[in-house]
């Protein structure tokens, strides 16, 4: 059972434009959401997170939006740069449960 | 501190053999996690330790898998009687358990290929 769903396996965006990666979740006990970025042959690295009590968190070019009623979050990258080409994982953590649950990932290609 | 180290980076083994992977976490992190990632999937939780205590095991962790963290430092993950379905990237992460990332720092992983 996929508690964190990323329905787009891949996304291609022109350099300089906005990249929007989407994520849905099913578990209403999740109270913390995270995005990780992964390059080939490396482990995932933390990008940005948001608590369930907020609806937006911004860090430089990266903004995460949370819509709790829709159980949906999105990551916006603007402007997109070539180095942003990677696999992006949406992840969530629930209450006192200490582990993080990951989605399947979306591969982002930034086109020149 | 060089982050989370995993050894080996790659392992090719014959079906039926036993393999053992090692993870050295960030020294001040008391929590250590093992995840498995297969092609087209995200990291899937296997087990985690707080210090030397193994606090949770996923149903993905069959009886052929065992993990230890003696003295709350490094950890080992052993797979006995490997099967082709065990082929995957095995990721280790360590954590202090605090936001915003809950301190998750991943290693580069051990890629296991069972032939």
Digit-by-digit pLDDT tens for chain A (112 residues) are 789 999 999 999 999 999 999 999 999 999 999 999 999 889 999 999 999 999 999 999 999 999 999 999 999 999 999 999 999 999 999 877 778 999 999 999 999 9
**Residue B107 Cα distances to A55, B8, B33, B35, angstroms:** 31, 11, 10, 11
pLDDT along chain B (115 residues), means of 10: 89 98 93 94 94 89 92 94 96 83 87 97
- A78's tokens: 């603007």
Contact A104 B41 (CB under 8 A): yes
Tell me which of B8, B42, B88 to substitute to probe the interface with A (most A C-beta atoms closer than 10 Å): B42
Please state the φ and ψ torsions of residue B108, each to the nearest 5 degrees: -80, -10
Instruction: Extract the runs of DSSP E, i.e. beta strands, from chain A.
Output: 4-5, 10-14, 19-25, 30-38, 45-51, 56-59, 62-67, 72-77, 86-94, 100-102, 106-111
**A51-72 pLDDT tens trace:** 999 999 999 999 999 999 999 9
Contacts of B35 in chain A (CB under 8 A): 102
**Residue B87 Cα distances to A1, B25, B37, B66, B114, angstroms:** 21, 23, 9, 16, 6
- CA-based nearest residue to A8, from A19, A17, A39: A19
């Amino acid at each position: 059972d996929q508690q964190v769903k990323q329905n787009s396996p891949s996304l291609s965006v022109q350099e300089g434009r906005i990249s929007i990666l989407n994520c849905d979740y099913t578990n209403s006990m999740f109270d913390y959401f995270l995005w990780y970025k992964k390059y080939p042959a490396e482990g995932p690295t933390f990008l940005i997170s948001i608590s369930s009590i907020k609806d937006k968190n911004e860090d430089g070019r990266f903004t995460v939006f949370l819509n709790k009623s829709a159980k949906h979050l999105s990551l916006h990258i603007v402007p997109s740069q070539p180095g942003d080409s990677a696999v992006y994982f949406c992840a969530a953590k629930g209450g006192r449960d200490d582990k993080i649950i990951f989605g399947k990932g979306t591969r982002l290609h930034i086109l020149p | 501190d060089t982050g989370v180290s995993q050894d080996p980076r790659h392992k090719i083994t014959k079906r039926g053999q036993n393999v053992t992977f090692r993870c050295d976490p960030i020294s001040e992190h008391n929590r250590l996690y093992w995840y498995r990632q297969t092609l087209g999937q995200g990291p899937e939780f296997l087990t985690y330790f707080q210090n030397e205590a193994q606090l949770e095991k996923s149903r993905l962790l069959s009886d052929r898998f065992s993990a230890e963290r003696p003295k709350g430092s490094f950890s080992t993950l052993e797979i006995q009687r490997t099967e082709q379905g065990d082929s995957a990237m095995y990721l280790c992460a360590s954590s202090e358990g605090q936001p915003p990332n809950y301190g998750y720092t991943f290693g580069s992983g051990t890629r296991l290929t069972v032939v």
